Amino acid sequence: MNVHALVQQAFGSEVAVMRQLEMPHGASTRRYFRLMLQGAPCASAVLMWLGDVPEVHLADAPAELPFVNVQRHLQQAGLPVPRIYLDASATQGAVLLEDLGDVTFYHAWQGASSDEREAWYRAAVSLLAHMHAQMWPIPSGCVAAERHYDFALLRSELEHYLTYGLEARLGKTLSPSVRQPLQEAFDALAHALDQLPKGFVHRDYQSRNLMVRPHLPVSPSALCIIDFQDAFIGPRTYDLVALLHDSYVPLDDALRQRLLCDYAVQRGWPLAEVKREFLLLSVQRKLKDGGRFIFIDRTRNDPSFLPFVSPSFQRVREALVALEGWTDLKRCLALADPEFFAGLPKE
């Protein structure tokens, strides 16, 4: 990959790359580089290198990279996403992007007062409600319309918890008498989630996937959405769970309830429906998250996400306590994973 050639293709032959700095990439298999430029209309740009991402190299790879496809449709809908200066994914496995800086929503939250934190979250919820309204129905040609977060995927993520979040974590295989009832309870949960009202889903709308533009007051327009390439059709409040049960942010429950109300009002949906969908999805999402963090440690030798395992499962417990019914699921989880789920209320 010739970085200088890519930059000159995007901005002109007189532009030079003065420095190239690798940036953090979290759990992504992509790599990111900040390019300091001379002679370009912008002082810097970000090179997203796709590396060994399968969708780039397979013979039946899509004609357009999902990141590029979803970015275009979000941008056309008036949503804040990074500009694409050059799409060279098909030829060089790289995309040249707008540099949004280093301040994520998470960083802004860390350095904010209590009132500022609430203001930031209200802005993020407003942007989320706006995105959901603008992107549903999903525009024609958007790859998200071809993907469905259905029973099979919901259920496979629960199996991810069972394999990594439970058995790998405990270092033992569950007995059939414990595993089988738990799997049946997971079947019931996945079926219930698959029946929820549908909408456009970003899939990972959380504090590390929102960038904060510098020198702007707290508002939805100060935020920029990233990591949207896996968008799909799924339960309409799934992104709300990702944001308000973010593994990285210990959000106060009183604030969480106010934000749920904000979202319901902005979407024009009954608050009771939003809350019940939110609780059900919280169980599935946070079980998956905890299992995923252990999976990353065991398969990529990256323990950096392990501190978030316990908070993820604690949020599952909180959701189960608040959720009416689901006695079999509560009983099976308490039996299989007493460290986190012992003593759940029995109805």
pTM: predicted TM-score of the whole model, two decimal places: 0.95
Q: Do the beta carbons of residue 31 and residue 21 sit within 8 Å?
A: no
pLDDT of residue 29: 78
Which of the four CATH numbers 3.40.50.12280, 3.30.70.2860, 3.40.50.1000, 3.30.200.20 does domain 3-98 have?
Answer: 3.30.200.20
CA distance 80 to 74: 8
- Residue 62 has what pLDDT? 65
Name the burial class of residue 209, with classes exposed (0-12), middle (13-18) and buried (19+) by CB atoms within 10 angstroms of its CB: buried
Q: So where are the chain's domains?
A: 3-98, 105-341
Q: pLDDT in tens for each of the 347 residues of the chain?
A: 899 999 999 999 999 999 999 998 776 779 999 999 999 999 999 999 997 655 554 445 567 999 999 999 999 999 999 999 999 999 999 999 999 999 999 999 999 999 999 999 999 999 999 999 999 999 999 999 999 999 999 999 999 999 999 999 999 999 999 999 999 999 999 999 999 999 999 999 999 999 999 999 999 999 999 999 999 999 999 999 999 999 999 999 999 999 999 999 999 999 999 999 999 999 999 999 999 999 999 999 999 999 999 999 999 999 999 999 999 999 999 999 999 999 998 76
How far apart CA 340 and CA 338 sit, in angstroms, is: 5
| Three-class secondary structure of residue 324 per DSSP | coil
Phi-psi region of 299 (alpha: psi -120 to 50; beta: other; left: phi over 0): alpha
Cα dist from 319 to 94, 287, 306, whole Å: 41, 11, 21
CATH architecture of 105-341: Alpha-Beta Complex (3.90)
Q: Beta partners for 48? A: 32, 95
- Rounded Cα gap, residues 11 and 5, in angstroms: 10
- Evaluate whether 3-98 and 105-341 have a shared fold: no
What pLDDT does residue 5 have?
96
Is residue 163 within 8 A of residue 291, CB to CB? The reply is yes
